[in-house]
Structure 1
Amino acid sequence: MAKPATQRPKLPGVGRLGLVEPTAQADLDSLGWNTDAHVELLWSLSRAPDADTALKAIVRLSEALGPGWAELDAALLQDRSLRGRLFAVLGSSLALGDHLAANPDSWRLLAGKVRLPSAQQLRDMFAERADQATGAAEHVEVIRKAVTKL
């Protein structure tokens, strides 16, 4: 028989979060993400493209930040957008996790309101860089036409 909702633990287990690495629970414990205050954060982690990869990268980032980890941890609890962006980035790419571990203060680029460039702005930036590239002059028009179709 299932326990009544009032008797079930609020804190999800690693399996419910989609974490399969044997070290997942120890990693969560090392981050201090084993309290009821972290439930929403944990569910956000579970939505990362690869939650295990994101968790490993967060552990590495926390180690790289040292005492600065407390600031990021507090920001993750407060800023849903930061949480979503950071977990999406870290769960998508080992290289970006490596980059953040090597440049730990870069997490701030994902915090707060982030204004992304429009498709046209991206095309313009790409075309400008292509114009500036040495030896690329003969290919600029081909690239510009291809990018304009995006």
Structure 2
Amino acid sequence: MSDDRCAYGHVRVFVELGPSGKPVHEELPAKILKNNDYEVLGSPVLTYGFAAGDRLRVADDGTFDVLERGGNLCIRVFPTARLTDAGINALTTRFEKLDGLVEIPPDLRFIVITVPVAVGFPAVEDAVREWAAGHDSDWEYGNVHDEQGKPLGWWAND
């Protein structure tokens, strides 16, 4: 595939082994770069370690390596109460001001936010903490810490 012609589709990444012992995968929109290399176009809700804009090399079993960071943070928000249109609009407006994107499935079970790390952790955390506190929601980063809670530190190189 030449550099000027890329295909778009989906990439299937490994999340974890489920209770049955079978692998759980998440499927995300992606630009197919070459062979098993993809540019992820949507931040994940289940998989940790990357965000939209990152380039991954994905093995046949769905395990992956991050080849290049796209400069975005992935934030997951988990509402415990039913979301309202006003609440969704407030969150969307707040993150649009930070050049972020708020994505919510039709069943409103979770929220995924993609926002450039360049806006800074304090601005991102202030925005999400204030909104989450007023909307009975928990939140976490999806690509800031490893499985042991240690900061990945990729943003220091961007």
Determine if the TM-score, normalized by the shorter chain, exceeds 0.5: no
TM-score (norm 2): 0.24
Larger strand fraction of residues: 2
> Highest Rg: 1 or 2?
1
Larger helix fraction of residues: 1
